[in-house]
């Protein structure tokens, strides 16, 4: 493949800097057009002059003025004027789709998440996974009208998130607990494959009440843990002074 032929300098277009400046000033105002930053050839008889944008809100931006001429002509014609970013220009953040911007905890009353057709965390409820516990749960859920259930990836992601969270074994509450949730009478094991790791706390006195907790989580409201009763306070018998005169 032949190498691209370098564009020849065009003295006529290069000399059209003032015409380019006048065009930029007509669009943006004379005070908004700064120093001439140079010129580059785009195609044969087509080039672009660059001027600094003297606008406080557009630091690092440039006015790009396209100029051209017809063959054998010495007349420079302005094609268009654009404001383009240069080195160090302040740019808006890269656009992120709404579905990708949402994070856990962002949803409020009335908010709705967009439907994700090919969500890797879900799979059809009628598709066998090979895990008997998971398949049994999937069939039951499908009977309730739920066409999709957690995939293996979705289940693992949820399990890791819960285990690393405030209801897992590393939470400050759990590290100070005398016993784990696995031996607590208020611990309700989950159904299916997650049963061996998680359950739900049903203790109204626990900070984890109504939350998914790991078997090795714990708190001070464990059903089998007691605190040492304080020793009864000893009060000396009162001394009555019958000889004292009570003046009212």
Q: Which residues 6+ apart lie within 8 Å of 166 measured at CB?
A: 173
b/e map 158-172, b = 16+ CB within 10 Å: ebeebbeeebbbebe
Count Cβ atoms below 10 Å from residue 85 Cβ, excluding itself. 13
Residue 36 region by backbone torsions, left for phi larger than 0, else alpha for psi between -120 and 50, else beta: beta
pLDDT at position 13 over 90: yes
Look at 93 and 243; give whichever has higher pLDDT: 93
Exposed, middle or buried by CB within 10 Å (0-12, 13-18, 19+), for 226? Answer: exposed
Output DSSP code: residue 77: E
Is-contact 201 208, C-beta < 8 A? yes
Position 130 scores a pLDDT of 65
CA distance 139 to 131: 12
Question: In terms of Cα–Cα distance, which of 189, 124, 182 is closest to 154?
Answer: 124
Sequence length of the chain is 248
Position 1 scores a pLDDT of 44
CA distance 55 to 36: 15
Helix (H), strand (E) counts: the chain: 6, 9
For residue range 49-58, what is the model confidence (pLDDT) as tens digits? Answer: 999 999 888 9
Position 243 scores a pLDDT of 64
Query: Which helix (H) or strand (E) segment is 17 a member of?
Result: helix 17-28
For residue range 118-174, what is the model confidence (pLDDT) as tens digits? Answer: 888 777 766 556 676 766 665 665 544 467 778 889 889 999 999 999 999 999 989
For residue range 101-122, what is the model confidence (pLDDT) as tens digits? Answer: 777 777 777 767 777 788 887 7
Q: What is the per-residue DSSP string for 93-142? A: PPP--HHHH--TT---TT--PPP-TT-TTEEETTS--S-HHHHHHHHHHH
For residue range 170-193, what is the model confidence (pLDDT) as tens digits? Answer: 999 899 888 999 999 999 999 878
For residue range 35-49, what is the model confidence (pLDDT) as tens digits? Answer: 999 999 999 999 999
CA distance 170 to 244: 65
Question: In terms of Cα–Cα distance, which of 168, 138, 180 is closest to 155?
Answer: 138
What's the half-sphere exposure (Cβ side, CA atoms, 13 Å) at 192?
Answer: 18
């Amino acid at each position: 493949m032949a190498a691209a032929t370098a564009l020849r300098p065009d003295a006529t277009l290069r000399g059209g800097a003032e015409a380019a400046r006048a065009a930029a000033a007509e669009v943006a105002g004379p005070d908004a057009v700064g120093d001439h930053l140079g010129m580059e050839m785009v195609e044969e008889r087509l080039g672009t002059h660059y001027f600094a944008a003297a606008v406080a809100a557009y630091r690092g931006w440039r006015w790009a003025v396209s100029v051209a001429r017809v063959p054998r002509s010495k007349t420079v014609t302005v094609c268009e004027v654009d404001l383009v970013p240069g080195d160090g220009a302040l740019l808006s953040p890269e656009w992120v789709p709404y579905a990708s911007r949402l994070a856990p905890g962002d949803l409020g009353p009335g908010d709705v998440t967009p439907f994700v057709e090919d969500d890797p965390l879900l799979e059809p409820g009628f598709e066998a996974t090979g895990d008997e516990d998971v398949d049994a749960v999937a069939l039951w859920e499908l009977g309730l009208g739920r066409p999709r259930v957690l995939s293996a990836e979705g289940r693992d992601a949820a399990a890791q998130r819960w285990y690393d969270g405030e209801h897992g074994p590393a939470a400050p509450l759990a590290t100070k607990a005398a016993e784990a949730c696995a031996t607590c009478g208020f611990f309700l094991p989950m159904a299916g494959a997650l049963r061996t790791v998680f359950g739900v706390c049903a203790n109204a006195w626990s900070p984890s009440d109504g939350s998914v907790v790991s078997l090795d989580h714990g708190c001070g409201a464990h059903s089998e843990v007691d605190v040492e009763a304080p020793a009864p306070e000893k009060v000396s018998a009162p001394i009555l002074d019958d000889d004292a005169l009570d003046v009212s």
